[in-house]
A and B are shown apart, each in its own frame.
Chain A
Amino acid sequence: DGGITQSPKYLFRKEGQNVTLSCEQNLNHDAMYWYRQDPGQGLRLIYYSQIVNDFQKGDIAEGYSVSREKKESFPLTVTSAQKNPTAFYLCASSIRVLRDSINEQFFGPGTRLTVL
């Protein structure tokens, strides 16, 4: 899983609670991403960050928040406002995104969140 760690692997949360998923990379990548994957579906982008202290919403940002205080870390908070948070969450990183550049993504092993 290429220098990106996610913790925990499995996470259980009670309804109404916020929870933070960790993502750390030691690849010296500038860009980091959070995706959500539901059964039988592809990946949907939640948030991405191209540089420290900056991030942008993806297609499904509602109910989620992120921070990017350090280059190596991009934690995702699933808030109580997210109506259906049970899913598999994947973090990824890539070299600085420039137009027409090669931007292969390296993925972490994922965190499976279950809301009880």
Chain B
Amino acid sequence: SQQGEEDPQALSIQEGENATMNCSYKTSINNLQWYRQNSGRGLVHLILIRSNEREKHSGRLRVTLDTSKKSSSLLITASRAADTASYFCATDPEGNQFYFGTGTSLTVIP
């Protein structure tokens, strides 16, 4: 399987702290994307990073990509209770379909 793996599987932090989650994948990619899923809902796209980029920012989100290690990290700064959700990475190694990881479940305690 080319599916990515997120780490940790679950993360619980206090509001205001930073949350870091990691994604590892198996094959070369065109880009890597992070998605968020609130319980029982569809996924929402957060950020995309291309294979030739090393870091990208969007608001309180910071994504890094290390293609030599086939890994990416998502940092959420100054977390809020509303950030509580599952976070997935997705890759498209062949350019025609996505492979999603198993997700990190983030709980932000008010």
List residues of A whose CB falls within 8 A of some B CB. 1-2, 4, 33, 35, 40-45, 48, 50, 56, 58-59, 88, 90, 92, 97-110, 112
Contact = CB atoms under 8 A, between A and B. Distances in A.
Nearest to B103: A42
B100 A110 contact: no
Interface stretch (B12-20, B56-64, B90-98): B90-98
Nearest to B5: A42
A107 B96 contact: no
Given A1-B42, A42-B3, A104-B33, A50 B101 contact: no
Q: Is the interface of B mostly helix, strand, loop or mixed?
A: loop
Contacts of A104: 33, 45, 48
Interface string B1-14: 10100000000000
28 contacts: A4-B42, A33-B97, A35-B100, A40-B102, A42-B88, A42-B102, A43-B43, A43-B88, A43-B100, A45-B98, A45-B99, A48-B97, A59-B1, A88-B40, A92-B43, A99-B30, A100-B30, A100-B95, A104-B33, A104-B48, A105-B33, A105-B45, A108-B42, A109-B41, A109-B42, A110-B40, A110-B42, A112-B40
Given A42-B103, A45-B98, 9 more contacts: A4-B42, A41-B103, A44-B100, A48-B97, A90-B42, A105-B33, A106-B45, A108-B42, A109-B41
A109 B67 CA distance: 32
Given A42-B88, A42-B101, A90 B96 contact: no
Contacts of B90: 105
B43 A90 contact: yes
Q: Which of B3, B40, B97 has the most CB of A within 10 A?
A: B97
A42 B1 CA distance: 12
B95 A98 contact: yes
B95 A97 contact: yes
Name, among A1, A42, A101, the residue most crowded by chain B CB atoms within 10 Å (CB to CB): A42
Contact of B95 (A35, A58, A99): A99
